[in-house]
Amino acid sequence: MVAAEALAGLALAMGLYALLYYNFIKGASCKNETSLRGKTVLITGANTGIGKTTALDLARRGARVILACRDRGRGESAAYDIRRESGNNEVLFMSLDLASFKSVRAFATAFLRSEPRLDILINNAGVGFGSRSEDGFNLAFQVNHLSHFLLTHLLLERMKQCAPSRVVVVASSGHERGKIDFQNIHKPVDGQMAGLHSYCNSKLANMLYTRELANRLEGTNITCYAVHPGLVKSDIFRHIPVWLKPLFLPILWLFSRDTINGAQTSIYCATQEGIEKYSGRYFANCSLQDPKPHAQDDAVAKKLWEVSERMVGLAN
């Protein structure tokens, strides 16, 4: 009797959760039929999470997909999984550690030597926690923003030759809480709260970078888009403090999307025809969004660009 009631209760709870999930959490599906046969896609941080799921979708569309990851074992294993699941053999791992400018430059040299095309670049890799990069910068600022800035710069000529081509920048709604303080944004920090702020600041940098890049790319047929994937069950929360996990992980599990739904907006911005006129803009749930004014500040965006050029060693 009690067991039957418990079962009925469980079924009800699951039904209510399904309703909640499909209506308020899952987000839009953007499955377009666009074929990518003959195109080359480069995606950073594609060994797990949103990046791996995005790479699988693009491989299924027939693209040649390069997974740029920092760990050879994890990268090769993801490439193997994606080749098997997509039936596409042109899925390759290449080594890239975004915490090091030296690695970014070596990667770009190797890529340009071996790959004649680049049609879609997806700047997806990101870190939420951590202190200092190999080059002495704030880790989130370098991995999420500076190194992608350098990488994109080094590959842009190849993308011009393949135009129309696209850059997709995986940002976050976390940018809303971000701030660009040119005195401090690049400095390593200690502690969880400071780390979280650094993450939000780096995501605001992603947003402003995308705007400025679109301005600079006008007339080239290369377009770019900033994406918020939603709250996604990925590996990004693996480094939250152990004491917070029992509290945070169940809530996360309840209120977040799986990576298939989390990848939809990246896939949309990489493949949807007709969005070129929205270059530089921000997308979530596969639709255009208006970010907060501080993420649309063109003067800050321009200054961030110049500061970034100096930090990565592109300007004197």
Ligand X SMILES: *[C@@H]1O[C@H](CO)[C@@H](O)[C@H](O)[C@H]1NC(C)=O
Ligand Y SMILES: NC(=O)c1ccc[n+]([C@@H]2O[C@H](COP(=O)([O-])OP(=O)(O)OC[C@H]3O[C@@H](n4cnc5c(N)ncnc54)[C@H](OP(=O)(O)O)[C@@H]3O)[C@@H](O)[C@H]2O)c1
- Which residues lie near ligand X (CB under 6 A)? 24-27, 31-33, 163, 219-221, 228, 273-274, 284-285, 289
Element (H, E) at 259: helix 259-262
List the single partner that 32 binds among ligand Y, ligand X, none, CB under 5 to 8 Å by kind.
ligand X
At residue 257, φ and ψ (nearest 5 deg) are -90, 160
Task: Name the closest residue to ligand X (Cβ).
Answer: 273
Find the shortest distance in angstroms from Cβ 96 to ligand X.
28
- 17 flagged as catalytic: no
List the single partner that 47 binds among ligand Y, ligand X, none, CB under 5 to 8 Å by kind.
ligand Y
Find the shortest distance in angstroms from Cβ 175 to ligand X.
12
DSSP 8-state class, residue 304: H
Single-letter code of the amino acid located at 5: E
Give the span between the Cα atoms of 149 and 153, in whole angstroms. 6
Which residues lie across from 101 on neighbouring strands?
none
Asked whether 283 and 265 are in contact (CB, 8 A), the reply is yes
Best CA proximity match to 124, nearest among 20, 206, 208, 7 = 206
List the single partner that 150 binds among ligand Y, ligand X, none, CB under 5 to 8 Å by kind.
none
Catalytic residue among 17, 21, 22, 199: 199
Find the shortest distance in angstroms from Cβ 275 to ligand X.
9
Cα torsion angle, 86, 88, 92, 98, sign: negative
List the single partner that 97 binds among ligand X, ligand Y, none, CB under 5 to 8 Å by kind.
ligand Y
Taking the least distance from each CB to ligand Y, the nearer of 17 and 255 is 255
Residues contributing to the site for ligand Y (CB under 6 A): 44-45, 47-51, 69-71, 74, 96-99, 124-127, 143, 170, 172, 228-229, 231-232, 234-236
Give the span between the Cα atoms of 281 and 11, in whole angstroms. 42
Q: Which residues are catalytic?
A: 199
